[in-house]
Amino acid sequence: MKKILILAALILALPAQADRYTAKFGLSQLTIHGNSSVHKWKVETKLIGGFLNVDGAALGKTGPSGATGTVIVPVRQLKSGKKRMDEVMHAAMNEPKHKLIKFTISSLEVNSVKDGVSTCTGKGSIEINGIKKPLTFDVSIASKGNQLTVTGSTPIKMTDFGITPPSPKLPTGNITTDPEVKISFDWVVAKK
């Protein structure tokens, strides 16, 4: 009897089993918004891969969720709708050498839960152009069936990642690009 009680206590003391949610194609979207001397610009992609390990129940209450994960975005699939601008941007991001933007989620704290949407603060890192920087970010996570939609945005500075803001030449003069950009995303992951 004593052994059974000890075993039960041990089981209860173990953290809940995290589920693995993997990226689902079709509903995700990542957009980078920027500004330049001629106009605002944006590039976007629906190709967002990766996974999120999290206990679904932990997202329903405040506190540390124990979530970890990785998000990957192929740089060459970021598109503006203008072929030449895509070429300039991919070259600036050193795409042939560093093919992915990579977010790593090392912790995720649930701040509040309302109507099935968890508002969270995450910690981790972001790697662009082969340069990794620590990152703290705010996201909301909506749960529906076996699917989670992670929505958020974060500002970054291109120069922090060794990227020289593109300055393409036009017959009327050079364009200057603001180094500050904002990355916003809807990342959809699902349990298999």
Partner 1 sequence: MSENKQDFNRRDFISSAGGSLAAMAAMMQAFEARAQDSEGKDSVRRTDDSTPPVKMGLIGYGPHGREIARNLAQLPSAPLVAVADHYGAMQRRAKREHPKAASYDNYQDLLKDENVEGVVIATAPHDHKDIVLAALKAGKHVYCEAPLGGTIADAKAIAQAAAAHPAQNFQAGLQYRSEPQRHFMFPFMRAGAIGKAVHARTQWHKKTSWRFVSPNAEREKLINWRLNPELSPGLAGEIGMHQADLVNYFLNLQPSSVSGFGSTIQWRDGRKVPDTVNLVYQYENGFSLTQELTLSNSFDGEYEVMHGTNSAVMLRGAQAWMYKEADAPLIGWEVYARKMPHYGRPGVVLAAGATTLGKDGKKLYQESTFTQSPLFYGLEAFAYNCHQVKSAVEDFLNTFGEADAETLAAYLADQLGETNSLLPAASAADGYQANVIALKANEAVMTGKRVEIKPEDLTV
* Interacting residues toward partner 1 by CB under 8 A: 23, 25, 45-49, 72, 74, 76-77, 79-86, 91, 168-173
Cβ closer to partner 1: 40 or 169? Answer: 169
> How far is the C-alpha of 58 from the C-alpha of 129, rounded, in Å?
34
Cβ of residue 60: shortest distance to partner 1, in angstroms? 28
Nearest CB to partner 1, comparing residues 70 and 143: 70
- Least CB distance to partner 1 at residue 36 (A): 13
Nearest C-alpha neighbor of 140 from the set 92, 91, 186? 186
Read off the amino acid at residue 158. Answer: M
CB of 81 to partner 1, least distance (A): 5
Rounded CA separation 75/68 (Å): 23
Helical spans, DSSP H, in 14-106: 83-92
Of residues 2 and 169, the one with the C-beta less far from partner 1: 169
Cα dihedral 77, 81, 82, 87 in deg (nearest 10):
-10
Q: Which is nearer to partner 1, 15 or 173 (CB)?
A: 173
Residue 66 CB, nearest distance to partner 1 (Å)? 25
Residue that the structure tokens 């593109």 belong to: 166
